[in-house]
């Protein structure tokens, strides 16, 4: 009987120890995060707001300052989430610096840059987009050439991370660098020709940037002759060009139209790299033809009579999983160019035919094609003007996909 009692006592002691350990773990885990109330206090202190000490005093001060919206935080004792932290940080920044983010940038982020934006309520999304654009949060990569990031908006924020972010309100040097269209810029492990670009994006690897520009293969460039006809991307905004009887200031043209040119390139590539012999029709033909400059107005007939006819006979299917056109690569050759990455595959009954019977392009030299095999290509899209070389950047249209593409990919010296 004594042995039984001793055993019960031992088991009870061990259970108490285990429960104690579990309790310690829970306390330790809880202390790693921060509540909305605690973060409100840190934020109010950083901004120099006067508030009543005690429960919810700092939160009320934030509400009075217009930083915290009433109703957005129903339980102030809950752990702060990453999304709610961005909402408050943006509110604090606007309290100090006013609202300085252009609407088109906010819309770009909401539509294309935050992969989990729909996980939070619609009332918070604009503030989250602004907070991201201001560099308060980097988020997590979704992969190379993927132009959105996962911010893990529903995840809890660690205490150290939250308190560090508060310092970013006044010290902007602590913030992440974000491109005008809402992509994370990296400042380390840069390509060897980084000086040729305004900035380098985190999601684009160095090989994308180190690929030669088209003008580099010309005899004039190799001989070090005049630079009148070419410029690196980093030089474009400081350049004026004469086009027949007009002078173009590209600082003005790019501010107005750079992202319109990007959209035109994306539409063109979507047509080009997504076509199926079983479903191709006049609507697809006319859509692709409409992308080109006016000098190619007869493109629809060419596409139909040459390409579509042969692709149907050869049962060609072109598919893409990633099309990423990057406007910061805009440069001048004899034409104007913008670079794109494409992950694609071509399926055909006979893959060893003329390549412009597989893909409706003039020049790309795609080596070692295999039917149904996914490939990666880096291409330059060339633009021309759609009205006889006059007007402004609104007249830009597609000339063609560069021949200097894909596996050619000669590295910069």
Percent of the chain with pLDDT over 70: 85
In the predicted model, what is the mean pLDDT of residues 344-355? 93
Percent of the chain with pLDDT over 90: 62
Give the least confident one: 15-29, 190-204, 336-350.
15-29
Residue 50: the pLDDT is 93
Q: Is 73 helix (H, G, I), strand (E, B) or coil?
A: coil
pLDDT in tens, 75-128: 999 999 999 999 999 999 999 988 889 999 999 999 999 999 999 999 999 999
Contact 280, 308 (CB under 8 A): yes
Residue 144: the pLDDT is 96
Residue 11: the pLDDT is 45
Q: Residue 314: enclosing H or E segment and its boundaries?
A: helix 309-314
Greater confidence (31 vs 260) lies with 260
Task: Identify the band that residue 146 occupies on the pLDDT scale cut at 50, 70 and 90.
Answer: very high
What are residue 381's phi and psi, to 5 degrees? -95, 130
Contact 279, 409 (CB under 8 A): no
CA distance 95 to 93: 5
CA distance 123 to 228: 51
In the predicted model, what is the mean pLDDT of residues 254-278? 96
Task: Identify the band that residue 393 occupies on the pLDDT scale cut at 50, 70 and 90.
Answer: confident
In the predicted model, what is the mean pLDDT of residues 286-296? 82
Residue 64: exposure state from Cβ atoms within 10 A (0-12, 13-18, ≥19): exposed
CA distance 407 to 375: 10
Instruction: Tell whether the model's pLDDT for residue 405 goes beyond 80.
Output: no
Residue 246: the pLDDT is 64
What angle is formed at CA 269 by the lines to CA 263 and CA 270, rounded to 5 degrees?
A: 90
Residue 26: the pLDDT is 44
- Residue 290: alpha-carbon gap to chain centroid: 27
CA distance 92 to 165: 11
pTM higher than 0.75 for the full model? yes
Instruction: Tell whether the model's pLDDT for residue 21 goes beyond 90.
Output: no
CA distance 413 to 411: 6
Greater confidence (390 vs 205) lies with 205
């Amino acid at each position: 009987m004594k042995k039984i009692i001793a055993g019960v006592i031992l088991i009870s002691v061990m259970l108490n120890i285990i429960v104690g350990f579990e309790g310690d773990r829970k306390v330790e885990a809880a202390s790693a995060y921060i509540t909305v109330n605690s973060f409100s206090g840190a934020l109010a202190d950083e901004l120099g707001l006067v508030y009543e000490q005690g429960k919810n005093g700092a939160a009320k001060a934030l509400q009075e300052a217009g930083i915290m919206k009433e109703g957005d935080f129903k339980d102030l004792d809950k752990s702060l989430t990453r999304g709610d932290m961005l909402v408050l940080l943006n509110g604090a920044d606007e309290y100090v610096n006013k609202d300085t983010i252009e609407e088109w940038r906010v819309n770009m982020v909401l539509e294309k840059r935050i992969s989990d934006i729909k996980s939070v309520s619609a009332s918070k999304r604009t503030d989250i987009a602004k907070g991201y654009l201001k560099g308060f949060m980097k988020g997590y990569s979704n992969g190379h050439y993927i132009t959105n990031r996962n911010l893990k908006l529903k995840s809890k924020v660690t205490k150290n991370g939250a308190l560090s972010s508060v310092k970013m309100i006044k010290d902007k040097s602590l913030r992440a660098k974000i491109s005008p269209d809402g992509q994370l810029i990296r400042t380390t492990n840069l390509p060897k020709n980084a000086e040729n670009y305004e900035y380098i994006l985190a999601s684009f690897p160095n090989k994308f940037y180190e690929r030669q520009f088209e003008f580099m293969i010309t005899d004039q460039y190799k001989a070090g002759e005049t630079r009148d006809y070419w410029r690196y991307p980093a030089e474009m905004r400081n350049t004026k060009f004469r086009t027949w009887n007009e002078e173009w200031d590209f600082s003005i043209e790019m501010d107005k139209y750079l992202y319109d040119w990007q959209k035109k390139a994306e539409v063109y590539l979507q047509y080009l790299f997504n076509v199926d012999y079983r479903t191709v029709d006049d609507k697809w033909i006319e859509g692709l033809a409409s992308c080109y400059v006016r000098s190619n107005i007869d493109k629809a007939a060419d596409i139909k009579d040459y390409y579509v006819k042969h692709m149907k006979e050869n049962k060609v299917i072109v598919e893409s999983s990633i099309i990423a056109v990057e406007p910061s690569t805009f440069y001048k050759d004899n034409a104007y160019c913008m670079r794109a990455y494409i992950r694609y595959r071509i399926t055909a009954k006979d893959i060893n035919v003329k390549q412009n019977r597989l893909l409706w392009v003039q020049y790309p030299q795609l080596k070692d094609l295999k039917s149904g095999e996914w490939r990666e290509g880096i291409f330059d899209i060339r633009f021309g003007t759609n009205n006889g070389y006059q007007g402004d950047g609104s007249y830009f249209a597609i000339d063609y996909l560069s021949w200097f593409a894909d596996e050619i990919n000669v590295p910069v010296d």
